[in-house]
Amino acid sequence: MATAIADVRNAPVGLIHLSLAVGGFAIGTTEFATMSLLPDMARDLGVDAPTAGHVISAYALGVVVGAPLLAVLGARMARRHLLIALMTLFALGNGLSALAPTYGWMMLFRFMAGLPHGAYFGIAMLVAASLVDAGKRTQAVARVMLGLTVATIVGVPLANFMGQLLGWRSCFFVVAGLAALTAALVAFFAPRDRGDPAASPLSELRALRRPQVWLTLGIGAIGFGGLFAVYTYLADTMADVTQVGPRMVPFALAAFGVGMTAGNLIVPKFADRALLPTAAAVLVWSIIALLLWPFAAQHFATVLVAMVAIGIGGSLGTVLQTRLMDVAGDAQALAAALNHSAFNTANALGPWLGGMAIAAGWGWTSTGPVGALLGLAGLVVLAISWLVQRGTAPATT
């Protein structure tokens, strides 16, 4: 490992994991709740809804850029100090978002808020995994991710309610407060580790030489896109196909969050025993669930079941995070952070391809088959990764 983890662990491991998960809750809340607040935001900032939607793209761009950049620049820092710095930047970006006077400033502040997203998750998961036995790493990673998944069940509906009651800016103020709380918890409970003076940006960038790193990132960037293809157009699908009012959409979103949470509680236990087979099983599960979406979308009850099933596929991120720990060598921080760049790539790819299918006249439910094709493509990349692994030295497995 490039960084020596704490000599003294004053806090129980569970409490450290919980502290790190609070940051995931803050990130998950701001990432998903922003979508539901767009109409009010657009009205207040004087732009139309499609233009306001670019603030989501600005945040995603911040994640893609910031994840590798901040991980590389922070290579020599103690992980505890880096986590505190990242959450401080996240708090600042969201606090400024709440105060943004114009659309242009909002774009800038959302980009700023996105910068620490991937690096925080990457470093937090490395810290979480370092505190448990090797056979329980994926479960430790999942505990950090629980913060994000619980946010989709609790944080997003509450943020939406607050936005309606107190205005959309209140959501960003609350997220900024949660980020500040995370920084304080990490400062108080996280292991007091030492930075590695021998580490350097160049040594981190060596991870990019490893084919297995790129293949693992490719599995996520492609295979995860199907989930976002359906999720992005869920409200429109429910209005046009399921024919229910907008008040029912939060229940479907919560069902998705329940599925993600269940997946992150159950799947890692199998991944710690057989990582690549578990990743393949999750992709097959997702393909089946997405293929059934056109049928499930016809009735509200089956929509809820389908969203739970699709949400379970979100556990792929946790599995691939552990895979990156195995294949990245000494460049752990960069590889861990890049995982979240990959999933934000999926967040762009899935909706784009789904939107093309809808625009071509194939209907709102075409997002399901499109997503299944992406899942199948991710499965092909995983098979290539497995074949390459079989033909390489044990050091790269």
Task: Specify the amino acid at residue 18.
Answer: L
Reported as a pLDDT band with limits 50, 70 and 90, residue 366 is very high
Question: What is the C-alpha to C-alpha distance for residues 259 and 311, in angstroms, rounded to an integer?
Answer: 4
Residue pair 149/314 in contact by the 8 Å Cβ criterion: yes
Averaged pLDDT for residues 364-379: 95
State the pLDDT at residue 16. 87
Structure token digits, residue 87: 């959450």
pLDDT higher than threshold 70 for residue 395? no
State the pLDDT at residue 216. 92
State the pLDDT at residue 138. 83
Residue among 272, 349, 348, 354 nearest 315 (CA): 272
pLDDT higher than threshold 50 for residue 8? no
More confident residue, 330 or 9: 330
DSSP string for 191-244: ---B--TT--HHHHHGGGG-HHHHHHHHHHHHHTHHHHHHHHTHHHHIIIII--
Residue among 79, 84, 81 nearest 184 (CA): 84
State the pLDDT at residue 32. 75
Averaged pLDDT for residues 154-167: 79
The three-point CA angle 365-367-371 to 5° equals 140
Structure token digits, residue 85: 């710095």
Rounded to 10 degrees, the C-alpha dihedral 324/341/120/139 comes to -40
> Under 8 Å CB-to-CB from 166, ≥6 apart: which residues?
none
Percent of the residues in the chain that have a pLDDT greater than 90, as a whole number: 37
Reported as a pLDDT band with limits 50, 70 and 90, residue 297 is very high
pLDDT higher than threshold 90 for residue 125? no
196-206 pLDDT tens trace: 665 556 666 76
pLDDT higher than threshold 50 for residue 396? no
With 0-12 CB in 10 A as exposed, 13-18 as middle and 19+ as buried, what is 165? exposed
State the pLDDT at residue 50. 63
State the pLDDT at residue 4. 41
Residue 102 DSSP one-character state: S
> Under 8 Å CB-to-CB from 82, ≥6 apart: which residues?
74, 119, 123
175-196 pLDDT tens trace: 999 999 999 999 988 888 776 6
pLDDT higher than threshold 90 for residue 112? yes
Rounded to 10 degrees, the C-alpha dihedral 11/324/227/250 comes to 10
pLDDT higher than threshold 60 for residue 2? no
Which of these ranges, 83-97, 132-146, 219-233, has the smallest mean pLDDT? 132-146
b/e 9-28 (16+ beta carbons within 10 angstroms → b)? eebeeeebbbbbbbbbbbbb
More confident residue, 370 or 224: 370
Rg (CA), the chain: 20
Question: What is the C-alpha to C-alpha distance for residues 140 and 118, in angstroms, rounded to an integer?
Answer: 17
Question: What is the C-alpha to C-alpha distance for residues 319 and 337, in angstroms, rounded to an integer?
Answer: 14
339-363 pLDDT tens trace: 878 887 887 788 888 888 988 899 9
> Under 8 Å CB-to-CB from 8, ≥6 apart: which residues?
191, 192
Percent of the residues in the chain that have a pLDDT greater than 70, as a whole number: 91
> Under 8 Å CB-to-CB from 247, ≥6 apart: which residues?
none
State the pLDDT at residue 397. 39
Question: Which residue is associated with the tokens 């990432």?
Answer: 31
Give the mean pLDDT of the chain.
Answer: 85
For the entire predicted model, the pTM comes to 0.79
With 0-12 CB in 10 A as exposed, 13-18 as middle and 19+ as buried, what is 393? exposed
Reported as a pLDDT band with limits 50, 70 and 90, residue 5 is very low
The maximal CA–CA distance of the chain, rounded, in angstroms, is 61
Structure token digits, residue 157: 């509906």
State the pLDDT at residue 31. 79
State the pLDDT at residue 128. 87
